[in-house]
Structures are given as C-alpha cells and as structure tokens.
Structure 1
Amino acid sequence: MTAVPHLQIKNLRAKIEDKEILKGMNLEIKGGEVHAIMGPNGTGKSTLASTLMGHPKYEVTEGEVIINGEDLLEMAVDERARAGLFLAMQYPSEISGVTNSDFLRSAINARRGEEISLMKFIREMDKKMSTLEMDDSFSHRYLNEGFSGGEKKRNEILQMMLLEPTFCILDEIDSGLDIDALKIVANGVNEMRSADRGFLIITHYQRLLNYVKPDFVHVMMQGRIVKSGGPELAERLEAEGYDWIKEELGIEDETVNANV
C-alpha cells in the first residue's frame, strides 16, 4: 500500500537580511487535500512559497519542513523539485533562446531521472496544451518571452501538469487573469487533483476558490497562520475583509512589505 504524501511545516521562521518575515509557521498538507492561504499584503505568503522552494535570499532561522519523511530544508533546489515539490510563480521569468518544449522536456527528464522519448513527450504536451487551450505555437516560442500575463500563468500550469509533482504551490496564479483565463487555469488545476497530490494555493481573492474548491482555508498574518476553516472562511473574507480577524485576535495593523 502506497503511503499518503505528507508535507509538514513546523514552527518555521525565516528572514531576509535582518528582517524576520516568517514567525512560527505551522501547516500540514496531505495527499488529496487543497489548502488555500489568504491574508493582507506583506504578511509572508510569497515568502513562505519561496522559502519552501529554497530561494537563497531567505534564511531559515528555526523550524523544520518534512516532505514524505525527508528533511526538505537540507535539500538543494533541484533536489526539492525531484522530491516532488513544485512552485507556480507569481512572476514567471523569461528565458530567451530556450524554447518552451526544450525547457519542459529537460525538466521532465530531471524530475523523473530518465529520458522521456520524443514521441511520448510530444503526445503528453499536446494533450495538456489542448486542456489549457494553448496554441501549438507556444511549444516553439522562447520560454515566456513575449507572453502575456495570462499566457505565462497557463504555461506555469502546463509545467505542473507535465511534471506531475507531489505537492503543488500556486503563488497568486490567478493574478492578472480575466474570467475566461481563470476558468481555464482552474480546469488544469482540477484535472491534477488526486489522492497522490496536495495543493497549497496562495491567493488574495475568493474568485479562484469558486472554481478550485479548497478543503481548508487559512488566514496568514504577522508571518504565521492565525485562523483556519473551510471554504466558508474565504467567502466571509471576501465579504468583510480582515478587520474582524484583527479585532478578534487583538492584532495590530499589518506592516505592509512588498513581495513577501
């Protein structure tokens, strides 16, 4: 019997230069679960995603992260990816001179540890691109170069669908999407849902969660989770904002820090 995938974050603290951003983060995600994290700007949501993926500018000062029984924090970035962790970035990078198809095939080979045949890769890529309503020309274009915001986000989901990670972190994947593109991206995410895969969705808005239904919703403030609930929590946040949580918990106004 295959073990259920398990990601556990325990008392995680991280800083950038001398400023502590994550201040005792605790979260547990199992295969088959979709967790959404919401919160005001500057509370550490994107820092959490980057820290889990091993971004060098964030220094972990305390705590641990265990992925399927292994210490994630001891792994290099490429080892984290091979262990099954995937991050769909808020601002995907452009890479001139590297075609989308070459990048994706290389990434699949690295993830699986073996060469995927060209024909199998083409079949899989064509199928996933069709799901995401992406034109065939995308496979031959340089990675994200000249892509619109929505095209970049679809490309991130295409990478996720081809790599088949165990844990998917989606950092504001809905930002800048019109309603049609949002539905397409959500369809790609929903197609990936299974008992063998867990999701962590970072978002500001309820609208994505109308299409990708979360099992758990968490509110992040002051570098940690301060409240958790079901999908109804996101609906209340959309209607009432965060002030009621601050009042309930006696939290002072957040200090807003860009891109954390």
Structure 2
Amino acid sequence: MTSTVPLLSVSDLHISVEGNEVVRGISFEIHPGETHAIMGPNGSGKSTLVSSLMGHPAYEITHGSVLLMGKDLLAMEPHERAQAGLFLAFQYPKEIAGVTLRNFLFAAYNAQMKVRDPESKKLSPIKFKKFLEGHMEELSMDTAFAERFLNQGFSGGEKKKAEVLQMKVLQPHLALLDETDSGLDIDALRIVAEGINSLKNAQRSFLLVTHYARILEYVTPDYVHVMVKGKIVESGDSAFALHLEKEGYEKYTS
C-alpha cells in the first residue's frame, strides 16, 4: 500500500523551449513505492518533462509548481535536486573523457552521503571499490568496466547498464528514466529491468519515459500516462500499456 503523502507532486506545469511551449499544463502525483510510466509519440514533451524536473537550463518552466517530498523543487539548483534524492537516467548519456566510471561514482556517492547522512563515515577508495564491484556483478558487468572513461566508447547497452549502476550506488528516492530501453537487445533489456526491479521498495519511486511498452513487460508500472502534444490525455494501470502497444496513439493524435 502506497503512502498518502506524495513523493512528487506536479501541478499545472508549463514548459517552454526557445519560446515555444512544449509541455502544456500537466498535473500528476507519484507516491512512495509507486512506478509510473509516461508513454506517447515522439515529440510529445516526455523527455522535456523529465529533463526540466532535473533542472536542465535549456528548458524554461513558465507556470506551475513541483514539490519533491513537500519541498519546492523548482527553487533548487540541479545539484541540490540530486542531493534531495532525484535521479535522471539520460536517453543519450554524455561521454566524459579522463574520468573513469569508478572515480565518477566514488565522487558522486561521497557528495551524496555528505548531505544525506553527515555523520556517516566516508568510504575509503578500497571499500568503495568492493561496494561498487558487488553492484556490478548484479548487472553482469565486468569489474574492469569501472576503469573505462565514463560512457566513452560504450555501446548503447553498456551506457544504460552504467546508468542503472549509478542508481544502485546513489539509491535515489525518485528515479526518472528517459527511454532506458532505447537501443537495448532483449538480453540487455532484461538485465537492466532486473536492476531496476532490485531497487524497488516501499520508499523508492520510478518515472519511466518510453515510446514502446517493451520495458513494461519486465518493469510493471502502477500507473501509465499517455502524453500527447504536451498534455496527459489519458491514464490507466499496467494493462493500459499493453493496450497502447496494440492500438497505438492514433486516436489521440488524429
């Protein structure tokens, strides 16, 4: 049973890109322990929504409010949103030369813990290495992978696994997953989905953005929302995703 207090509350949100309104007044709530999926045709504003929630500077929120655990999310800088427990897995993760995956996660983990639990003892590099390798094994990742530069030369599947690994290390309250299933073969999709499912608990929530219902065969959502032309036009349960996969979005776009 989910909490009655929302983890995320979005109210009448409007978002513009270079003066053009892309998201046109959407409202929804996500409670602790819930998994929501936003589906819809390309160009409907799905990625704009989750990037804006994370504080991407290219997007301007012109109206509405967003609360994360009762606090004004829109008043926070992107790093403050991350420290508050918000996480975004990008559709196209950036490559960072010169920074290994392990060093990136070590810095991110310690920065996160410094804010969440100031009294906790900082993990040494050796202890963090063991901690990280345990999570990598769960994702069927070679531990040598941690010594590669972040996302540089990674395949699409490797990038998505690295994003799930980040989630496992950082343990966010709310994970925003932007087309995490994009470019994955069936085996990689299953491993990524298992990684997501292993993080599910009564306090942690997920918002999955996807065009197809494929990942939802492995990660069962509590609620599915259809987003078309910047608006949520219909919502349903997990069975609704299968209906959308079969019928498509034509009835919403015609």
In structure 2, the CA distance between the partners of 1:23 and 1:67, relative to structure 1 (3 Å rule), is same
SS of equivalent to 1:97:
strand
Q: 1:116: Cα distance to partner?
A: 2.5
Distance in structure 1 (CA, Å) of the matches to 2:134 and 2:81: 27
- For the structure 1 residues 43 and 3, does the alpha-carbon distance in structure 2 shift closer, same or farther, using more than 3 Å as the test? closer
Take 1:12 and 1:4, find their aligned partners in 2: how far apart are those partners? Answer: 20
- Tell me the TM-score normalised to structure 2 length: 0.94
Is 2:31 the counterpart of 1:24?
Answer: no
- Matched residue type, 2:183: G
Q: CA deviation at 1:4?
A: 5.9
Unaligned 5+ runs, structure 1: 247-251, 254-260
- Contact kept, 8 Å, 2:6 with 2:29, in 1: the verdict is no
Which residue does the alignment assign to 1:192? Answer: 199
For 1:191 and 1:230, locate their aligned partners in 2 and report how far apart those are by CA, in whole Å.
21
Q: Is 2:176–2:206's contact at 8 Å kept on the other side of the alignment?
A: yes
Spell out the pairing of 1:74-89 with structure 2 (5 A cutoff). Answer: 74-89=75-90
Q: 2: CA distance between counterparts of 1:202 and 1:139?
A: 27
Find 1:138's aligned residue among 145, 153, 161.
Answer: 145
How many residue pairs were aligned? 246
In structure 1, the partner of 2:36 is: 35
Runs of 4+ in 1 over 2 A off after TM superposition: 2-5, 114-120
Task: For 1:85-100, list aligned pairs within 5 A.
Answer: 85-100=86-101
For residue 113 of structure 2, what is the aligned residue in structure 1?
Answer: 112
The one-letter code of the counterpart of 1:133 is: S
- One-letter identity of the residue aligned with 2:199: M
**In the aligned structure 1, how far is the partner of 2:126 from the partner of 2:34?**
33
Residue 5 to residue 117, structure 1, CA distance change in 2 (3 Å): farther
Q: Is the 8 A contact 2:181 2:189 kept in 1?
A: yes
Identity of aligned residues (%): 54
2:237: which partner in 1?
A: 230
Query: What is the TM-score normalised by the length of structure 1?
Result: 0.92
Return 5+ residue gaps in structure 2 as ranges: none
Root-mean-square deviation (Å): 1.4
CA distance in 2, matches of 1:226, 1:110: 39
